[in-house]
Amino acid sequence: MIQNDKENISLKQLLVDYIHQWKYFATAFGISILLAAAYLLLVPKTYEIAAKVELRPDQPLGGTNGGNLNGMSGILKSFGLGSSSSSLTIDDETAKFMSVSLLEKAVLQLGLQVNYAKPFAYKYNMYNVPLALSADSATNRNLWEAIDFNINILSESDIRVSVKSTKNEYEFSFTALPATIKIGEGIFMLSVKELQHYPYKVKATYQPARWVAEELSESLSIDEYSKSSNVLELGYRDYEKQRGIDLLNTLIVLYNQQEGENKKREGESSTRFLDERLNSVITDLNATELTLEAYKLEHQITDIEYDMQFYSAQMKELQMKIIDLEAQANVIELLDAYIKDPENRYNLVPSLLSTGQSSDKNSPILLYNDALLERESILLTSKADNPLLEKSERQIEQLRQSVFRSIENARQSLELTISDLKTKEKSILAKMGSIPSVEKGYMDIKRKQEIYQAVYLILLQKKEEIALNSGDWHQRARTIEAVYAKKRPVAPRKLYAAIGMLMFTIIVPVGCLFVKNHAKELLEAYKDSCKK
C-alpha cells in the first residue's frame, strides 16, 4: 500500500513538473500549427476520379451451327481444337486495362510523359498549359532517361530554351513557334496553344512514356462491382481533375479500339484461311463430278439411286455417319496443313472451326494464339534482342507441339471411328451379294463427291458467319457511369493534420523535458558503456 502511494505521488509530481514547463508545450503547439498549415497549403487538393464500365463478350467468329455440324464441334472440342471468344474472364480483362502497353498509348496520346512544374509549388505537375512539348515516334521509343527543359518565352519572337540531360547541356534560341529541338537524345517539338501573356517561363521534364505508364499502373485501381456481374469500377486519384477524367476516358477508348483491332485481325486471318481452302475444295469437287460423269457415261447409268432397293435404314444411317466423319477428318487435315506450313509459324490459328460453343480456356490452340499475341505485343514495344522475345518464342514452340499432338489425337480418333463404321458397312454389304460391282464403284465416287460438298458447305457457312460477326462490331467496354470527379477531396486530410498537431504537441515537449531532466544520468550511462 505504501509502494502504491509513492508511485501516485511520483506520477503527480511528474505531471506538476510538466505543467510548470508549459512554455515547452506552448512552443510545440505553435510549431505544430505551422507544420499543419504547411501540410494543408503545400499538399494540393487531390480528388477521386471514378467510372463504371460493363464488359460485354464478343460473339464468336465461327458463329453457331446446327445439324450435322454439331458432331464436328464435339470432336474438335474434345481434343482441344477450336476456340470461341463468346466468354470473358474479369481478371483477364482487368489485366488488359492495366497493361503497361495500353497505358503507354494513353500517356502518349494525352502528353502525360511531360511534367510541367508549377511555380512555387512542391511537386505539382500542371496539366492545362499554353505550351506543348512532344517528340517523334523514334525518340519516344528509344528514350531511356528524363530530360529537363527550361522554357523562357520573352515575346512572340524571342524564345529561349535550355535543355539538360544526364550527360549533356544545350542552349537554343528561336524566333517563332512551333520549333524543333534536336539533341543527341532525340528530336523534340515545342509548340504553343494559347499564350496571351509575356513573358512566360516554365520548367518541363520529358520522361520515357513507359516510366509514366508503370507509375500509372500502380496508382490506377480497377475492382469488380460484384462477383456475379461483368461491371468494373475504375478509380484514379489526381489533383488535376481534368487530367484524371481524360485519362480514364482515353483508357476506355483505347481498350475498345484494341479489342476491335484484335477481332478484325482474327477475322481477316480466318477469311484468308477459308478462301484458300474453299478454292482447294472447289477444285477437288469439280474433279470428282467429272469422274462421276465419266463413270455414268461408261456404264450407262442414269438414276441408280432408284434401283438400289436393297438399302436399309441401317445402311442409310451408316452412310450419313461415314460422310459426316470423313468431312470432319478432311477439315482437320486442312487445319493440320495450315499449322504445319512454315509460312504460318507466327500466324494466329483460326478459331473458325468451332461452332460457337465455349471451349476450355486452357485448350492448346487458345493458349497458342495467346502466346502469339503476347509475342506480337513484345515486338511492338521492344527491340528484337529482348530476352522476353526469346522466352516467348520458346513457349510458342512448346505450345505448337501441343497443338500438333491434339490434332494427331483427333485424327486417330476419327480414323478409328470411320474404320469401325466401314467394317459394319462391309458386313451389311456382304449379306447383299446381289449388289453389282458397277453400283459399288458408283457408290464410292458418289460418297467422295458428298464429302467434298459437305466440306464446301461447312467452309462457306463459316465464311458468311465471320463476315457477319466482323461487321457487327460493338464496344467491349460499355460505359454505364461516365467518368466523374467526386465532390470531396481525398487529400490533404484535416483529420491527419489535427492528429499530427496533437502528437507533436505532446511527444516533442515530453521528450525534451525527459532528456533535460535526466541528462546527467544519460551522460554517465553513456560513459560507462564506452568504458566497457
Q: How confident is the model at residue 152 (pLDDT cuts 50, 70, 90)?
A: very high
Q: According to the model, what pLDDT value does residue 353 have? A: 46
| Residue 161: domain span | 114-207
Residue 368 burial by Cβ neighbours in a 10 Å radius (0-12, 13-18, 19+): buried
30 plus 121 within the same structural domain: no
Helices (H), 47-132: 69-78, 90-97, 100-110
Highest mean pLDDT among 5-14, 289-298, 431-440, 479-488: 479-488
The pLDDT value recorded for residue 103 is 92
Which of 24-38, 176-190, 432-446 has the largest mean confidence? Answer: 176-190
Write down the residue that cell numbers 464468336 correspond to: 60
From 147, 178, 207, give the residue that closes a domain: 207
For a pLDDT cut of 70, what percent of the chain falls above it?
77
pLDDT of 383 reads 65
Contact by Cβ (8 Å): 21, 517: no
Residues 81 and 119 in one domain: no
Decide which of 186, 207, 228 is a domain's last residue.
Answer: 207
309 and 370 in a common domain: yes
Rounded to the nearest 5°, which phi and psi values hold at 204? -120, 140
389 lies in some domain: yes
More confident residue, 476 or 525: 476
Per-residue model confidence as pLDDT tens digits over 34-58 = 877 776 676 678 889 999 999 887 6
Q: Tell me the C-alpha distance between 364 and 368, whole Å.
A: 6
- Buried b / exposed e across 219-249, counting CB within 10 Å, b at 16+? ebebeebeeeebbbebbbbbbbbebbbbbbb
Span 4-27, average pLDDT: 66
Q: Can you point out the beta strands (E) in 147-259?
A: 147-155, 158-164, 169-174, 179-183, 186-192, 200-206, 221-224, 231-238
Same domain, 394 and 353: yes
Rounded CA separation 121/482 (Å): 31
- The set of cell numbers assigned to 471 is 461487321
State how far Cα 161 lies from the chain centre: 39
Residue 168 lies in a domain: yes
133 vs 341, residue with greater confidence: 133
* 339 vs 516, more confident: 339
In a domain, 54, yes or no: no
The pLDDT of residue 254: 92
Q: Quote the distance between the C-alpha of residue 98 and its chain's center.
A: 7
Q: Are residues 504 and 402 in the same domain?
A: no
- Which range of 34-38, 78-82, 194-198, 453-457 scores highest in mean pLDDT? It is 453-457
CA 499/CA 477 separation, integer angstroms:
43
pLDDT digits (tens, 9 = 90+) for 504-514: 777 887 777 77
pLDDT in tens, 385-403: 677 777 777 777 787 888 8
Query: How large is the average pLDDT for residues 149-154?
Result: 92
pLDDT bucket at 66, cuts 50 / 70 / 90: very low
Higher local confidence (pLDDT), 347 or 98: 98
Across 363-371, average pLDDT: 78
Structural domain total, the chain:
3
Q: What's residue 174's pLDDT?
A: 92
197 and 80 together in one domain: no
Confidence of residue 67 (pLDDT cuts 50, 70, 90): very low
In a domain, 268, yes or no: no
Query: Virtual CA dihedral for 100, 101, 103, 104, nearest 10 degrees?
Result: 110
**pLDDT single digits (tens) 453-479:** 888 888 888 878 777 766 555 678 888
**Alpha carbons 222 and 203: distance in angstroms, whole number:** 33
Do 426 and 502 lie in one domain? The reply is: no
pLDDT beyond 70 at 101:
yes
- How many CB atoms within 10 Å of residue 271? 18
Domain-embedded: residue 371? yes
User: CA–CA separation, 369 vs 349, rounded Å?
Assistant: 6
Confidence of residue 139 (pLDDT cuts 50, 70, 90): very high
**Residues 6 or more apart from 24 whose CB is under 8 A from it?**
509, 512, 513
Residues of the chain with pLDDT > 90, as a percent, come to: 17
In a domain, 429, yes or no: yes
Other beta carbons less than 10 A from residue 77's beta carbon: 20
Best-predicted range by mean pLDDT (28-37, 221-230, 340-349, 425-434): 221-230
284 and 399 co-located in one domain: yes
Q: Look-up: residue for cell 532525340?
A: 186
Model confidence at 358: pLDDT above 60: no
Model pLDDT, residue 476: 80
Over range 11-29, report the average pLDDT. Answer: 73
Average pLDDT, stretch 291-317? Answer: 67
Same domain, 384 and 337: yes
Predicted TM-score (pTM) of this structure: 0.59
**What distance lies between CA 134 and its chain's CA centroid?**
26
Which residues sit opposite 189 in a β-bridge? 134, 180
In the listed set 163, 181, 207, which residue is the last one of a domain according to the structure?
207
Q: Does 502 map to a domain?
A: yes
- What pLDDT score does 113 carry? 92
Q: How far apart are CA 440 and CA 310, in angstroms?
A: 13
- Residues 356, 297, single domain; the answer is yes
Averaged pLDDT for residues 112-130: 85
Phi, psi values for residue 331, rounded to 5°: -65, -40
pLDDT averaged over every residue in the chain: 78
- Mark whether 291 and 400 lie in a shared domain: yes
**Confidence check: pLDDT of 234 > 80:** yes
Do 202 and 73 fall into the same domain? no
Report yes or no on 531 lying in a domain: no
